[in-house]
Amino acid sequence: MSLLSAARSLAAGDWPVFGGDAGGSQYSPLVQVNAANVRDLERVWEYRTGDSTLQRPDAVPGSFLATPVLYEGTLYFCSGYSRAFAIDAVTGKERWVFDSKPDMQDGTAKCRGVALWHDDERSTGGAACTSRVFMGTLDGRLAAIDRLTGRACDDFGENGFIDLRQGAGEVRRNELVMTSPPVIYRDLVIQGAKVRDNQRADAAPGVIRAWDARSGELRWAFDPVPAGSPSPQALGAPPGQRYHQGTPNAWSIFSVDEARGLVFIPFGSPGLDFVGGHRNAGGVDRNRYANAVVALRAATGELVWHFQTVHNDLWDYDLASQPLLLDIEQNGESIPALIQATKMGFLFVLNRETGEPIYRVEERAVPQTAIPGETSAATQPFPTFPRPLHPLGLDEDDAWGFTFYDRNACREKIRAARNDGMYTPPALDRYSIQYPGVAGGQNWGGLAYDPQRNLLVMPQNHVVTYNKLVRKESVAFLPEGDYTGGYSPNEGTPFYISHEILLSPFGVPCIAPPWGTLMAVSLDSGEKHWEVPLGTPRDMVPGMSWFPWFPTMGFPSAGGALLTGSGLAFIGAALDNYLRAFDVHSGAELWRARLPAGGQATPMTYRADDGRQYIVIAAGGHAYMRTTPGDSLVAYALPAP
């Protein structure tokens, strides 16, 4: 299915790709469910994937974060244990299940979605695999599945799979995983992958690759180091290694502009997140494309432009959200634009043909590292439109607590730390304040765009991270080789890193709520249109359960918003088990429904064959956020006529 066909499909009431369209708008023009009748929504079916009951003693904890796609009356999606599903869009009845049988003893059990491809050259005749579902796995493979039968496409790669470790040199067990769906450009399947954070300086390569959708043949690869860098073999790599290790990776969702033949890649930081003195080892600049939006020729992988949002990242400020593609009116001219949300609460608005900022971006001086052998950038880029959406640091007067005791304890923690405002680098043998924290600001939930109202809607986290570097000789290891104190190994550097959330003695954040919000930003004014707390403590893990009531205080979230043509914003994402609907005009909550588990996924919507508009969300929880686990896909609709 071409992207043009996908755009027409969305206009007809489908949801053909992860973000609704190839530019990630997370918007549907459907209006059947509106502000007047949204309170009448009812649960019409619930599908259980069975992941919760898998009898696998070796399985890592799973998260169900998928956003389904819809094609010809069928929903396609994946679960955290790398299983793909096809179910009827009206009834939720299962059509097939595909199990990739991954190695699950270590790694990340997440899958945010799948991608569909249709073979126009073989669209008739009933041949197998003329329409395919592509899914990444938690053990570093790319699978091709027959969309109609749920069987592996044996003509793709090796028996339907490509091993993404090929050409990567030494890759440790489940170090390289695919947590987000690939994107499709014509007959190419383009993918990135997540590389486990903070393990080693020479971590698995962050290469971006395009595969032939029919055969699985490698068509191009973008190794994120500057042209002319010493080859891996010049650095002592074995002959079969084609890509540089320790480079930035792109684990989130890509965007595609088919008309211009461009694919846009949101990169993270290289190798290790909180130390950077090793990043130019061997004369290879591993920072060049780190934390940058990179535009490539989709047909060839040729670099077109890149824009870096953080220089020499020491804060895990990787680009977690899908680049949003839209057109912006400026001085009577329509400009093809890209908006990149960041964990810093910044929105960078770029010309997607050139990568140049459409509005002024200022390079401002920032604090510097005091650690010998470490490096930090002298300046960082700050957008001026929209203005930063998150506070740029905090001081001891921002300390908060329920009593004088915990407030003073928080104040002492802040006072004792290195705290020079935003971009305070990690300190040695002393904590430093990082605000926004490693989860943002914005995270992978991304931006939703309402073209009728020219509004962006997004969740945002307000959590302080407390970081500390220590010299390795000062930390004792347990006999089995694990490390104490919550430190990450950081192999290849002299330091371990400890990073934690800044909490009071009562286990609550040291700053005043809300700790998570939903906001709308006007692209006409560049200002917040509204901002409201998102989430209650109702389903919090022990430690927060002593709340005697369930106020809407606002809690951290994971997942994004869905917007509809009727002016509604649907979102789960928060730590409680609810799906909510908000008025896009005012931010007022209009409806909420209990979910069977945590809804840390982005919902989607479609018009089914019975004429009704459905809203669907995965409710299976997020293992790292310790939300209620489960394995349900839940659909809501208005009562049948």
Q: Which helix (H) or strand (E) holds 405?
A: helix 404-416
What does the DSSP 8-state code read for residue 482? -
Closest CA to 387 of 525, 534, 293: 525
Count of beta carbons in the 10 Å neighbourhood of residue 404: 8
Q: Is the pLDDT of residue 555 over 50?
A: yes
The pLDDT of residue 506 is: 87
* 234-255: average pLDDT: 95
Instruction: Judge whether residue 89 has pLDDT over 70.
Output: yes
Catalytic residue among 146, 313, 316, 318: 316
* DSSP class per residue in 529-582: EEEEE---STTPPTTSTT-SS-------B-S--EEETTSEEEE--BSSSEEEEE
Amino acid at 619: A
The per-residue pLDDT for 484 is 41
Averaged pLDDT for residues 12-33: 95
Is residue 251's pLDDT more than 50? yes
Q: How confident is the model at residue 331 (pLDDT cuts 50, 70, 90)?
A: confident
Confidence of residue 6 (pLDDT cuts 50, 70, 90): low
> What integer is the mean pLDDT of 517-545?
87
Given pLDDT bands bounded at 50, 70 and 90, which one contains residue 103?
confident
For residue 13, the model assigns a pLDDT of 84
400 domain-assigned: no
Residues 6+ apart with CB under 8 A from 263: 183, 185, 190, 254, 255, 256, 257, 295, 296, 298
Answer whether residue 124 shows pLDDT above 80.
no
What pLDDT does residue 541 have?
64
Residue 423 resides in a domain? yes
Task: Quote the domain boundaries for residue 620.
Answer: 3-392+405-637
316 is known as an active-site residue: yes
pLDDT computed for residue 52 by the predictor: 85
CB of 288 closer than 8 Å to CB of 353: no
Which CATH number characterizes residue 486's domain? Answer: 2.140.10.10
Q: What is the dihedral of CA 535, 540, 544, 548, to 10 degrees?
A: 70
Residue 257 lies in a domain: yes
Average pLDDT in the 132-144 region? Answer: 96
pLDDT tier at 123, thresholds 50, 70, 90? low
Structural domain count, the chain: 1
**Residue type (1 letter), 295:** A
Would residue 19 count as lying in a domain? Answer: yes
The answer to whether position 397 is within a domain reads no
- For the whole model, what pTM was predicted? 0.95
- 288 found inside a domain: yes
Is residue 169 classed exposed, middle or buried when 0-12, 13-18 and 19+ CB atoms within 10 A define those classes? middle
Residue type, position 533, single letter: P
| DSSP-assigned letter for residue 479 | T
* 3-state secondary structure labels for all residues of 53-70: HCCCCCCCCECCCCCCEE
Average pLDDT over residues 162-179: 93
Predicted confidence at residue 120, as pLDDT, reads 83
Long-range contacts of 83-88 (CB under 8 A, 24+ apart): 83/49, 83/51, 84/114, 84/133, 84/135, 84/143, 84/145, 84/150, 85/47, 85/49, 86/133, 86/147, 86/150, 87/47, 87/633
Q: Note the pLDDT of residue 9.
A: 67
Q: What are the DSSP calls for 366-399, one per residue? A: -----STT----SEEEEE-SSPPSS-S---GGGB
Establish if 399 belongs to a structural domain. no
Q: Is the pLDDT of residue 110 over 80?
A: yes
Angle (CA) 300 328 446, round 5° = 70
What pLDDT was estimated at residue 483?
A: 43
- pLDDT, position 61: 79
- Alpha carbon 251 to its chain centroid, in Å, reads 7
pLDDT at 430 exceeding the cut of 80: yes
Pairing of strands 194-195, 176-177: antiparallel
**Residue 271 confidence (pLDDT):** 80
pLDDT surpasses 80 at 148 = yes
Residue 447 near residue 515, CB atoms below 8 Å: no
